[in-house]
Each structure stands twice: as structure tokens, then as C-alpha cells.
Structure 1
């Protein structure tokens, strides 16, 4: 799930604050072999000072990590700097992120800041809303003194920090080191590519009379086909907040209509007119599926409910086994940008959010998060695994950029893409 980041300059001013969101859950939860650690927790942390210290952590609203590395966007090396920024927020060194906590504030030594959020308690827009509010009020309303300190009065009643006490015997240390080694292996396998797409944004897309989300989703289908030469089951998260306590539903955005459009796009013998016709059919189908998902008429949450009931009743269902075993080799999500009017994006581009991302759901698949910012910018986050010979996040990113441009060119609309 996504988590937000931003930058606070060392002198206390808020400048070049690329708000970014990244999350840990998807990439680090798979194959984690939690059983040995669960046994170690029961053995070594269920009594005495260890239990007391662990309770203090688990009862905290959130955690703060003071990271000793310097991260953030670097104009001299934009690609590598954003990729390492994203990976650090996603997993850090593995021992300096508390992945089971609501969220962890991460402050780097150069003043950059971000969040790592656990997904169970809330979806990405909730964390995004929180972080946009924190950053905008800090920079535009509260401000700083001339010597760089935050404005406002200190609260003398806040208790002083206390060092937590632990008793770690040698055999417990061995379990900790083995768990850390496994976590680092998983984290180091994540291939993360974060980049801004500024050839055009939703302003130009709306001139094509197309939903920006449908446009991006069809570009993802085209990019995936060019990347792998085949289609795959695709997940797109849809909000169901029209309902009380609604969370998400799945839009299965790889449809017969989208496949027909993609196959036409890669066929040099097809005309622009036919490509446009099939694009509009596919875009309308996607919007229809999205409306169904938002209004409770989706598929996957009903399938999950059937699965839970079947487990409760002890009923073996070949249908559910088959339909729920298919991997999501392309998992996608859009994080809303600026849910409330906190500041003017056009006048303050240095505060534009880079959004957030997550790890791949399948070992041989991609995780793609995107944030439609203002009228002229879309930020993308692409993840995969180095260990998979089928995937490459930077290669997919290149295909995605080209797919976006190829589709907008069908409409004869001008973009800023460099040829």
C-alpha cells in the first residue's frame, strides 16, 4: 500500500518538497516465513522487560525513524535518486522500519521525510490525505522562525524520551539475525523505478474526451504487451467509499476490449481510425467496470466472501480454488492527489507529490502505482523483482512512456515528449 514522503530542508524551510508515497506490505509479506519469528516472539518477548518494551512500541500511535542516510530527488541524477528514495521508504535496511505499525515517519539526515504505512488499517488515499495536510499546513500556515525552528510554543507537559530496555540472549540474537537476513534478501530483490511523466497530463487527455484513468490503464495494457508479448490478469483498486466502512473492490482492467485495442496498436497494417475506434470501445468498457466496482457490483469481494464462507462451512469448492489461484501479474493503483484545496499546485510546483508505490504481487509480475497531478503531470512507480528473468522495472517504464505518447498521438494532440 502506498505511503507518502516529502522533504523538509535543513534550515527549516519547506522547499522542493516532492511528496512521495511508498508502502511495504505487498513486497515484504509474501513468503516471509513468519512462523519461526512468531515462536521466537512467544519465547523471548512474552514476559519481563522485553514484553514491557514491546508493549510500548505496539501501543504507540505511530513510530519515527531517524535514518542516517541522505535521500531525495537530485536534479543531477534524477533516475537513480528517485529509485533509491523509493526503495528506502519501502524497506530501508529492514531493521529500521516497523512494518506492522500503522505508519512510520522516516526522517533522513538531509531533512527529507516520508512515510511507510501498513495497509490493513486504511487504504492509500487516507494516508495521502494525512500527509498532504501535514506538509501543507507546516509550510503554508505554521511556518518557521528566522533561525529555522518551527513556530509556536513548546508543550512542557510532554514526557521526555525513555530508552527501552531489552534482554536478548544469544539464541534469541540468532533468530533475529536469521529473520533480518531473510528480510534483506526479500528487500534487495525489489526492482523499483519511480519517475515523473511530464509529456502531458490529464489536461490533454480530457481533450480526447477520455477518462484519464481509463487512458492510463489502456496505456498499461499496451506497455505490458510490448514488455512481455502477452496479456495477464490485471488488478486495479477501486474505492467503495459510497458504502459505510467501504474499502476497495477490484477492476479487472484486462478485458477483451482492451486486448483488441492493444493488438491493433501493435499491428502496423491497421489504420488510425480503427485504432481510435477500438480505443474508445475499450475506454468505455473500463469506465463501466469502474462504475460497477464503485457501486458494489464488482466481482472479487463477492468471490472473497464466498471463499470465507466455504472455509467456515468446510466446503471444498473447485471453482473458488481455480478462480482465486490465478496470480495478478499486473497490479495497479491510482493514488488521488490533493483531496482538499490545500495549496495551488500550479503556483507551487515544488510541493507537488510524487505519490507512492508498492511491491509486486507476483514473483514474475509488476506493481504499478500512478498519481495524476494537476493538468500536466503524472507520476509513476513501477516495481518488480530482480530475480525474475521476465521483468525489468526500467524497461517497463520505457514501454509505458512510449505507450502514453502513442495513444495520445492517435488523437493528433501535441505532447511534450522528446523523440
Structure 2
């Protein structure tokens, strides 16, 4: 054991001559180096904390202000309007010169802090301006140009990850009138006249009777809380759910699509774990650059705080998220055994070659799982209440408590999978099986409660399964981009596929976690496994690579790629089921402090008119005109959602408030019970720009996905990769006779091609018009100058 190995460095024996001490120089060296690393880390955190605390000013600016004030005093000028003299009288019991210097310093410090607050207030006011997002692409007004210049000016230089947090505006509470109007507009295409009239009556009754009181309390909460949505969203949408989080909540991210840097499982895991530790170190110090729209407008970084050292802990009524500041170990699962691996040696991170050695030791370990150990992680895949009760009863003392604590306090969880997965163009369903493995695996080989589980396959492919309550997909995507780029372009491998660097044979081996799981607990584990297996077996997944065209061609048609794809999804949905449905598209609200997501209701009157036109015998010009209107409508709704004027989060919070106040609202009940039969999300690409995909076109990620939201619906995640590739991750349930993920994928492909054909037809008509005009001009010239051809 690692602990025992370290313990032998300090021994003593009691003899007749006294106490005989035996000290190991090697161990003392490691203790010293560990202490140096620890204090260095604290010093860097302290320094970065000060830099973030005074941003957009800098600590050196305090010295400038003090010198400036002192200079004015010696020039017999009082810029404080008598405040320095007042401070001098308050101090007392000092020489006159000391009083003068000290009062000047105190005044300067107060002035400096006031200037910082003023700068932050100005920046917050500037960041509350959102008219720029509603301007047409490529057209920037003078006001927006001026605003961008001011934001750059007040944003300071070299911001750290959390520098902008206190300057971000609060998420505003929309007016009830606006929300109700937009809601009724969103359901109009889904209801007949009688249903719509009934809904209108119920909505107006709510707006008149119950909404004013609920809205007042919600506005009060928005003044008091940092974000009026996020805490309730995390608690009631995620943590209070008692059903399994596997498939229903957790999501996944895939490895590079075409490239596998090495086929050695331990080596790939070694490089990637080391890259994650580098990312974590920069994250804990706040050294990552904040994400900024247009390279100027900062996004909230709050969700990133809990990426590592975080676990969702099960409870009887509600779960909670446990986050620790720093953990120095990792827990690895392989063939039913759990191993604890230390990530530090001599006060530093293990090198990739050292991690490869540790992981290879685990792969070479032939011991059998202990009774109940093989499927232990199925507890995290089943229903939450049995897991919470089992945790209290069987894992609250003894070796079980120690081992479970090791898992829950680890930096993250690693599964060394014994299967082979990845995209293979020669195998039709390879992407489908890869996605299912990442989403649920065998139901017992991922710890679904950890913030994320890193999965390393036998052939060197990777993936991540992430728990959803603590953060949204772009947060994991940010880390994953950094890790894959660092793995391939900075760390690299030897010609034999091993990690670079020397092998340290003196490392203590991984520690095998010990368990004492009684038969009653084993029965609970098996029940959780059976519940999870039914869910996993019901997932119908299809990965669809669309490479006919991509972002490049869509932008040439002067259309938003996201709007283009959303309209294609509406067309595919109608062709698949013969009807329209309530559609969910996730958009982010991270321009506000602690913002998470908002819903864009993609099924609109404009989109349904376009889809019906596509299925009727309308001309291409008519279809294209309807497409433009639907795309513009979608873009406007997306922008409203991003700027805090969405529908669903406001209605959700009004519903929670009604529950607290014991107000029964038929309108809110109906709104919150409506099923999202088409749930969609776009995976962001190149948040960091660490890889030039024009130069390295094969080093692109495949994106990620999630399980179906409705029993009879589809979940669709898509990623726009470069200029010529879009990947769709489609999920549904085998148990539904109405859905088929592969069929829906084919409908999406055809819908994309049919919409492109509209633009192709327009281009052909333009060419014909140009040719016809050219022909008429030629005929006219020949008529006017009949002998021109002879000269």
C-alpha cells in the first residue's frame, strides 16, 4: 500500500540506551518538495485572488494613486476637499508628518477602491447592453462599434478566468405580459382553434389573478440572489429527481473522430490524465482566459469551479453536490476492481510515463473482484432512493466507508474499459455503439455520480460521461478541447506508442480498494443494475455524419447555420411522424452572472408554414421566402433567450414560487407538464482555438450527445465541425413504436439536402437570368451593328 510505503520513512525503536530514530532522506526530500509545492500553490492562488479582486485595476495602480496624492500634498494642493485633514484629526497620538503620510495613504486607498467600484459599475452597465446581438451578421452599427470600444477600454488587460464575475449583470426577470404573449405564440402552431382559445383563456386568467403576486416575489428574489433561476434549476430539475441519472440526465463527449494518437490504452490514459491535471492546476489558480463572445463580451465562468473533486451525493428526498478544493488521487475501475492512484510524487504531478506505468499495473493485475464489487457502481445508475438508503446502511463505517470516500473525494473517475469502440467508416453502426457505450456502458463500469468519468478503451479511444447537475455541456467541452489538443500536439508519444519520458520504477503501486459488502447490499446492487439495464437496453442510438456540406455553404446562403439545422430538424420531424411537436433547443445565458441555459421553442408558426410548403407543390421561390422568414424568426428567438427574455425559465420559476406560496395554478401545471418530443442542443466547437482545423482537418472532435427526453420522442445533439461536416447524435427508445433513430437520421439528411436544393435552384435561376440578359444584349448589338463581326 502507498500509505505503508510512505510510513517506513520514519521509524523509531525504544532501547535501553534511549530512543533510536531512523529517518529516510528520500522520504524527507519528498516531504520538503510537497511542502514547497503546497505553499507555492497557495501563494499563486493568493496573488491571483488579489488580481481578480481588484480587476479591472491592478495592484500597481494603488501605488500610482498614492504617489499622485502625496505629490499634491507636498505641492500644498488638497484634492481630498478636506478629507485628509479629517482623517489626520481622527488618527491622533502621532507626529504631524506621520499623520500626514498615513492619512494620505488611507485616503488614496479609499479613492482607489472607489475607482475600482466605479469601473466595475460602468463595465456592468456596458455589459447590460444587448442591442448588438440583434444586428444583422456582418453589419455593425456605429453605436455597437462605440460600445465595443468602450467594453475593450474598461475590460482591462490580461484578465484571469474569474476577473469579470463581479462585473457581469444579473439575469433580468421578464415581464409577465411578454412571457405569456410569447408562450401563446409558441403553442399556436401545435393547437387547433378550440384548444388555443381554451389555452388563451387559462393564460389570461393566470396573468390577471395569480401572476402579479408571484412576479413580485420573483423580482424580490432576483434582487437578493445572484441569479434568480440557477439555484432552483439545479435543485428541482436535477438534484430532486429520484429516477436514474444514467441516460436520463448524464451526457457524453466523444474522442477525436478520425485520429487515434496511440492504440496503447495505458499510454493514452496517461497522457490525457496528465493533461487534465494541467488543466485543473490552471483552473484552480484561475489562469484560464475567460471565454468572450466576439473576443470582447465575457461569459460567466462560475460553472467551471466544480469541474474536478466533485461528486453528486444521493439523498432520500434530494441529492446534493459535494465539492472539495483539491484532491491528490484518482480512482480507476477495471474489470470489476477499484484502484486508488496517487497523482502526485515528490510535490509534483506524475509525468505521463509514470501514469502509464500505474495504469499498466492495473491492466496487468489478475486478481478477482471481491464479493459485490463487480457491479457496485450500478448503485449510481439505478433509482436514487435505494442508493441513498444503501449508502447510509452499508457504507457509513468500516472499510466500505473508507473505500467509498476514496471514490467520492477523487479528482475524477477513470474507467479502463475492456471493450473496443470508436468511429470506423467500414462498420455501419460503429458510432452508434460508441455512443451507447459512453452514455451507459455496462451500467456498472462508470461512476455516474462523479462530475465526470473518463473512459479509456482497449484500442486507445477515449470518451467522457458527465453528470449534469453541476454544469452544462460547454463547460466539459472547454476542458475536453484543451485535453485533446494537449495530448496530441504538446505531450505526444514515442514511435512505439508509449508516453514520452523516463519510467520511474520507484513509484508505489496503485492501492486496491477493499470492500465488505453483505448479501443484503448485493441484492440492492443487483436490483439497481436490473433497473439500469432496462433503461440502457431501451436506448436506440444513431450517429449520423453529414458531410455533403457544412457551415461554409450555409453561410454563403446568408443564413445562420443553427437556424438552417433547426428548420431541417422540423422538416425531418414532420416527415418522420406526420405532425409537429413542442421542440426544445438549449441556448446559454452565460452573459449573465451564474447563467446556465434557456429554452428556444423552435417549432413556430413560421417554421410550420415553411415545412408545409416543402411538402406541397409550391415554387422554389415561395419555399425560399418562407424559409427566410422562419430562419429570421428562429434567430430572433435565440437572441431573446440569450439576453434574458426567454419563456421557459421564467415560467419554471413562477411555478416553483406558486408551490412555495401554496397557489394552485392550472396554467402553470399545464405548461410544466407539456412533453418535449423533440429535444435538441448544439455542441460548441473550438472554444479555445488550440488546433487550426484548416491545417489539421482530421483533428476534429465528434461532439457528444444525451438520451431521449420523452418516451415517444427524439433527443438530437449536433456539432458543426469546420466548414464541411456536421455530426448528429440521435437518441430515442426502442419501446416506442413511433420512433426510429436511424430513420430519423435519414430524414435529417434528406431535409438538409432538400433545403440546400432551394438555394441551388435560386442560383440556377440567377445563372439563367444572366445568360438570358447576355443573349438579349448580344442580339441587340448585332441588330444595331450588323457589320461589327467583320471588323
Same fold (TM over 0.5): yes
Instruction: State whether residues 8 and 113 of structure 1, in contact with CA within 8 Å, keep that contact through their aligned partners in structure 2.
Output: no
**Matched residue SS, 1:194:** strand
Q: Does 1:69 align with 2:322?
A: no
Question: 1:238 is paired with a residue of what secondary structure?
Answer: strand
CA contact (8 A) 1:239 1:294 kept: yes
Residues 200-246 of structure 1, C-alpha deviation per residue, up to 9 Å, x if partnerless? 00110011110000000000000000000000000000011111111
Q: Partners of 1:281 and 1:248 in 2: how far apart?
A: 25
* 2:513 maps to 1:164: yes
2:363 aligned residue: none
1:77-226 equivalences under 5 Å are 77=427, 79-152=428-501, 160-226=509-575
Aligned to 1:272: 620
Q: Could you tell me how far apart the structure 1 residues matched to 2:665 and 2:410 are? A: 42
The residue that corresponds to 2:668 in the other structure is: 320
Q: How does 1:349-388 map to 2 (within 5 A)?
A: 349-388=697-736
CA contact (8 A) 2:730 2:745 kept: yes
Give the distance between the partners of 1:34 and 1:100, measured in 2 at CA: 10
- State how far apart, in whole Å, the 1-side matches of 2:252 and 2:404 are: 24
- Secondary structure, aligned partner of 1:352: coil
Task: Decide whether the 8 Å contact of 1:5 with 1:131 is kept in 2.
Answer: no
**C-alpha spacing 1:359/1:398, structure 2 compared with 1 (3 Å):** same
Report the counterpart of residue 219 of structure 2 in structure 1.
Answer: none
**Separation of aligned partners in 1, 2:425 and 2:759:** 33
TM-score (normalised: structure 2) = 0.49
Q: Is the 8 A contact 2:598 2:641 kept in 1?
A: yes
Equivalent-residue separation in structure 2 for 1:87 and 1:115 (angstroms): 12
TM score, norm. by length of structure 1: 0.91
Q: 1:302 deviation in Å?
A: 0.8
Aligned to 1:333: 681
- Quote how far apart the aligned CAs of 1:157 are: 10
Where do 5+ consecutive residues of structure 2 fail to align?
1-249, 270-311, 313-377, 764-791
CA drift at 1:414: 11
CA contact (8 A) 1:358 1:367 kept: yes
Aligned counterpart, 1:4? 253
Q: CA deviation at 1:13?
A: 8.4
Q: Which moved more, 1:214-223 or 1:150-159?
A: 150-159
Distance 1:68 1:183, change over 3 A: same
In the alignment, the residues of structure 2 paired with residue 337 and residue 329 of structure 1 have an alpha-carbon distance, to the nearest angstrom, of 26
| Contact 1:307/1:320 (8 A) holds in 2 | yes
CA distance in structure 1 between the partners assigned to 2:406 and 2:504 by the alignment: 22
Aligned residues of 1:53 and 1:166 also touching (Cα < 8 A): yes
Superposed CA offset, 1:54-102 (max 9, x none) = 111111121000100111111211x311110110011000000111110
The answer for the alignment partner of 1:287 in structure 2 is 635
Match of residue 54 from structure 1: 404
Q: CA deviation at 1:42?
A: 2.0
- The change in CA–CA distance for 1:230 and 1:142 in structure 2 (over 3 A counts) is same
Distance 1:251 1:348 in 2: 34
Tell me how far 1:153 sits from its aligned partner. 6.2
| CA distance in 1 between partners of 2:762 and 2:406 (Å) | 57
**Residue 156 to residue 326, structure 1, CA distance change in 2 (3 Å):** farther
Residue 231 of structure 1: aligned partner: 580
**CA separation of 1:309 and 1:156: change in aligned 2, threshold 3 A:** farther
Q: Does 1:34 align with 2:283?
A: no
1: CA distance, partners of 2:651 / 2:574: 28
CA distance in 1 between counterparts of 2:262 and 2:499 reads: 12
- Report the CA distance between 1:323 and its aligned residue: 0.4
CA contact (8 A) 2:252 2:465 kept: yes
SS in 2 for 1:412: helix
State how far apart, in whole Å, the 2-side matches of 1:196 and 1:46 are. 47
Alpha-carbon distance, 1:160 to partner: 4.3
Residue in 2 that maps onto 1:307 = 655
**Does the CA-based 8 Å contact 1:83-1:194 persist in structure 2?**
yes
CA contact (8 A) 1:369 1:381 kept: yes
Q: Please state how far the C-alpha of 1:252 moved relative to its aligned partner.
A: 0.5
Distance (Å, rounded) in 1 between the aligned partners of 2:631 and 2:405? 50
Number of residues of Structure 1 aligned to a counterpart in Structure 2: 400
Partners of 2:397 and 2:729 lie apart in 1 by: 42
Instruction: Write the distance in 1 (CA, Å) between the matches of 2:486 and 2:469.
Output: 27
Deviations 1:124-161 (A, max 9, x none): 11111111111111111121233432234678998642
Secondary structure, counterpart of 2:512 in structure 1: coil
Question: What SS class does the counterpart of residue 226 from structure 1 fall into?
Answer: helix
Match of 2:103 in 1: none
- Distance in 2 between residues matched to 1:83 and 1:334, nearest whole Å: 18
Aligned to 1:240: 589
Partner Cα separation in structure 2 for residue 353 and residue 75 of structure 1 = 15
Cα offset for 1:5?
2.5
Change (3 A) 1:409 1:332: same
Q: Report the CA distance between 1:256 and its aligned residue.
A: 0.8
For residue 210 of structure 1, give the secondary structure of its aligned residue in structure 2. coil
Unaligned 5+ runs, structure 1: 15-24
Higher relative contact order (CA 8 A, sep 6+): 1
For residues 246-297 of structure 1, what are the alpha-carbon distances to aligned partners after superposition, in whole Å with 9 as ceiling and x for unaligned?
1110000011111111111111x21111111111010000000000000001
CA distance in 1, matches of 2:672, 2:693: 42
Contact residue 253 and residue 705 of structure 2 kept, 8 A = no
State how far apart, in whole Å, the 1-side matches of 2:506 and 2:262 are: 28
Asked if the contact 1:3–1:128 (Cα under 8 Å) also holds between the matched residues in 2, the reply is: no
Match of 2:606 among 257, 270, 279: 257
